[in-house]
């Protein structure tokens, strides 16, 4: 087992009515608040008004930055940071999914500096501080509500890159499963895939940590048990709650404890698909994983057998790969590029962008030949 530090300062408040804790949480962090949100779902389902009520109750002056898009972009971060500087904002409240929360994380560390957020991604600068951040989660998927990661896209360089920073951990996160009732079936399913994928990234990370692997498999089993039922009943509280807890648990440090870190090769290939074709994050992963498994089979053999035995009751690795693909199909997610209307003619463009994004895993190193073969298998 590798040495590890377990550090997670987020105060997570989970359950029906959890939003009621927001006014007390924000009161400790200042009175001038930037509310960050996406393209309108929170106005439609009313979460916006519940949040505003809490902020008013705490006596906050509220400024807003809405319109964050799925696969968020650096321009929004830079513009929102400028708004924060102008109004001397003291805290940020992000209401949404991974795209909104990740943008808010980057906004928080960009406010104190005078350059673009992208300088951090290019390692030209390092965050030195961040405005305190509170999140209100509205879709179960990324785990961003309880971790120090954030991903952002640069459409000019066609890169989508991730970054870890200790200032990114939200101070508070409010998770009410009812807030996810309005997430449509397809995005609910992408969240299942993303949660499974975070487990897989941890599981295939460098190092051996048997107890961690058992936690990881439990989270995956939870997704496979409750996920398909949830897709048949999108407003079932217990199923929404089970998915919400599973998705947070898949990327809050639990599934990499005792390992050097996760692998993240499949995710970095997925980011190329998002930056080129603007496809949802979870949908990229259900396409990448079957191909990644098949191509790396010899290298993954031992670990795949263990997963197969525990999740699918088989030691046959080919069968295990088949079962994963069947699960992704069963929940209505794409498993080939063609399912996302990305044609074979795009192969060269994809390979080129994988090089630009330096797509690779930390444990299972991918050469250009590997990437070529994986893309071929995604076709």
277 part of the interface to ligand NZQ, by CB under 6 A: no
Q: How far is CA 132 from CA 30, 64, 109, in A?
A: 9, 16, 9
Q: Which is nearer to ligand NZQ, 135 or 226 (CB)?
A: 135
- Residue 175 in contact with residue 138, Cβ under 8 Å? no
> Is residue 96 part of the contact set for ligand NZQ (CB under 6 A)?
yes
Nearest CA-CA partner of 138 in 171, 200, 187, 172: 187
- Binding status of residue 263 toward Zn ion by CB under 5 A: no
327 binds, options ligand NZQ, Zn ion, none, Cβ within 5 to 8 A by partner type: none
Q: Which of residues 302-331 bind ligand NZQ (CB under 6 A)?
A: none
Which of Zn ion, ligand NZQ, none lies near 17, with the C-beta cut-off 5 to 8 A by kind?
Answer: none
Closest approach, Cβ 118 to Zn ion, in A, equals 21
Angle between helices 210-232 and 185-203 (to 10 degrees): 170
Report if residue 139 touches ligand NZQ, rule: CB under 6 A.
yes
Taking CB within 5 to 8 Å according to partner kind, which of ligand NZQ, Zn ion, none is near residue 251?
A: ligand NZQ
Please say whether the beta carbons of 201 and 264 come within 8 A: yes
Contacts (CB under 6 A) with ligand NZQ, residues 165-194: 179-180, 182-183, 187, 194
Task: Please report how close the Cβ of residue 201 comes to ligand NZQ at its closest, in angstroms.
Answer: 8
Nearer to ligand NZQ among residue 13 and residue 188 (C-beta): 188
Q: How far apart are CA 265 and CA 362, in angstroms?
A: 7
Q: Which stretch binds ligand NZQ (CB under 6 A): 116-124, 138-146, 216-224, 233-241?
A: 138-146
- As a whole number of angstroms, the distance between CA 77 and CA 176 comes to 26
**Residue 205, binding choice from ligand NZQ, Zn ion, none, Cβ under 5 to 8 Å by partner class:** none
Q: Is 143 one of the binding residues for ligand NZQ (CB under 6 A)?
A: yes
Residue from 22, 26, 29, 41 binding ligand NZQ (CB under 6 A): 41
How far from each other are the two terminal CA atoms of the chain, in whole angstroms? 38
Contact segment (CB under 6 A) with ligand NZQ among 1-9, 96-104, 128-136, 361-369 equals 96-104
Instruction: Out of 76, 145, 176, 194, point to the residue binding Zn ion (CB under 5 A).
Output: 194
Q: Does 102 bind ligand NZQ (CB under 6 A)?
A: yes
**Beta-strand pair 172-175/11-14:** parallel
Residue 198 DSSP class: H
Integer angstrom CA distances of residue 280 from 27, 98, 246, 277: 35, 11, 20, 9
Is the separation of the CB atoms in 101 and 135 below 8 Å? yes
Q: Which is nearer to ligand NZQ, 266 or 317 (CB)?
A: 266
Is 145 an interacting residue with respect to ligand NZQ (CB under 6 A)?
Answer: no
CB of 165 to Zn ion, least distance (A): 17
Among 108, 144, 159, 188, which residue sits at the site for ligand NZQ (rule: CB under 6 A)?
144
Bridge partners, 107 (sequence order): none
Dist. CA 147–CA 242, nearest whole Å:
19
Q: Is 199 in the site for ligand NZQ (CB under 6 A)?
A: no
* Cα atoms found within 13 Å of the Cα of residue 375, Cβ hemisphere only: 26
The answer to whether 242 contacts ligand NZQ (rule: CB under 6 A) is no
* 129 CB-contact burial (10 Å; exposed 0-12 / middle 13-18 / buried 19+): exposed
Q: Count the residues of the shown chain that bind ligand NZQ, applying the rule CB under 6 A.
A: 35
- Nearest C-alpha neighbor of 150 from the set 95, 107, 194, 102: 102
The two tokens of residue 13 are 């408040």
Distance CA 139, CA 153 (A): 20
Mention every residue, 6+ apart, whose C-beta is less than 8 A from residue 310: 217, 221
Contact footprint for Zn ion (CB under 5 A): 194
Contact footprint for ligand NZQ (CB under 6 A): 38-42, 45, 70-72, 96-100, 102, 138-139, 141-144, 147, 149-151, 179-180, 182-183, 187, 194, 251, 267, 281-282
């Amino acid at each position: 087992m590798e040495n590890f530090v377990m550090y997670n300062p987020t105060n997570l408040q989970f359950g029906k009515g959890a939003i009621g804790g927001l006014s007390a949480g924000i009161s400790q962090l200042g009175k001038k608040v930037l509310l960050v949100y996406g393209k309108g779902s929170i106005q439609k389902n009313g979460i916006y008004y519940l949040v505003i009520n809490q902020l008013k109750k705490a006596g906050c002056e509220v400024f807003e930055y809405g319109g964050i898009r799925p696969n968020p972009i650096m321009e929004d971060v830079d513009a929102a940071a400028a708004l924060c500087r102008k109004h001397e904002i003291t805290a940020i409240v992000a209401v949404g999914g991974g795209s909104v929360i990740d943008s808010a994380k980057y906004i928080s560390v960009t406010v104190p500096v005078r350059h673009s957020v992208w300088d951090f991604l290019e390692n030209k600068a390092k965050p030195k501080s961040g405005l305190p951040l509170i999140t209100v989660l509205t879709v179960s998927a990324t785990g961003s509500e309880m971790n120090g990661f954030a991903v952002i896209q640069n459409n000019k360089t066609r890169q989508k890159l991730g970054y870890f920073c200790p200032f990114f951990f939200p101070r508070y996160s409010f998770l009410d499963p009812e807030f996810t009732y309005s997430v449509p079936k397809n995005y609910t399913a992408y969240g299942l895939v993303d949660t499974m994928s975070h487990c897989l990234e941890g599981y295939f990370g460098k190092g051996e940590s048997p107890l961690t692997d058992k936690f990881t498999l439990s989270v995956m089993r939870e997704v496979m048990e409750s996920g398909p039922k949830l897709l048949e009943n999108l407003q079932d509280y217990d199923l929404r709650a089970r998915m919400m807890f599973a998705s947070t648990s898949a990327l809050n440090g639990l599934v990499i404890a005792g390992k050097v870190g996760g692998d993240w090769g499949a995710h970095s290939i997925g980011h190329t698909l998002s930056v080129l074709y603007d496809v949802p994050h979870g949908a990229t992963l259900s396409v990448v994983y079957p191909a990644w498994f098949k191509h790396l089979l010899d290298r993954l053999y031992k670990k795949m057998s263990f997963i197969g035995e525990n999740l699918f009751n088989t030691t046959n690795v080919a069968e295990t790969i088949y079962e994963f693909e069947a699960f992704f199909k069963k929940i209505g997610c794409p498993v080939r590029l063609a399912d996302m209307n990305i044609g074979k003619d795009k192969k060269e463009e994809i390979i080129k962008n994988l090089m630009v994004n330096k797509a690779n895993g930390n444990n299972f190193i991918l050469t250009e030949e590997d990437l070529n073969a994986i893309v071929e298998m995604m076709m």
